[in-house]
């Protein structure tokens, strides 16, 4: 992806059943059910709304920007395999 991408943490209510697989509008890696890291060239607001529109009405959703450098990455344990490698590799 281009250098103008931002890193986001996306969470939506576990158990939400979108009609189709979500388009994360960027390079994405799952951390757990409903929890994703996403690199996207969209603003936080645009990314939030594009994901919101794909989820069933009333589904809880959060979209938070993260610093896209090792000091800004979240600390985590027990998440889906490959998450740290995805971060270190810049995605994909």
Tens digit of each residue's pLDDT, the chain (92 residues): 446 899 999 999 988 989 899 999 999 999 999 999 999 999 999 999 999 999 999 999 999 999 988 888 888 899 999 998 999 886 55
Cβ-count burial 53-86 (b if 16+ within 10 Å, e if not): ebbeeebebebeebeeeeeebeeeeeeeeebeeb
pLDDT value for 72: 84
15 by DSSP, 3-state: which?
A: coil
The predicted model scores a pTM of: 0.88
pLDDT value for 2: 47
pLDDT value for 39: 96
């Amino acid at each position: 992806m281009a250098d103008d991408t931002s890193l986001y943490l996306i969470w939506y209510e576990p158990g939400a059943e979108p009609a189709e697989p979500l388009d994360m509008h960027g390079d994405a890696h799952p951390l757990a059910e409903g929890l994703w890291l996403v690199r996207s060239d969209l603003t936080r607001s645009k990314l939030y709304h594009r994901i919101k529109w794909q989820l069933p009405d009333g589904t809880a959703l959060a979209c938070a920007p993260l610093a896209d450098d090792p000091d800004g990455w979240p600390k985590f344990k027990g998440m889906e395999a490959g998450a740290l490698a995805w971060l270190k590799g810049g995605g994909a």
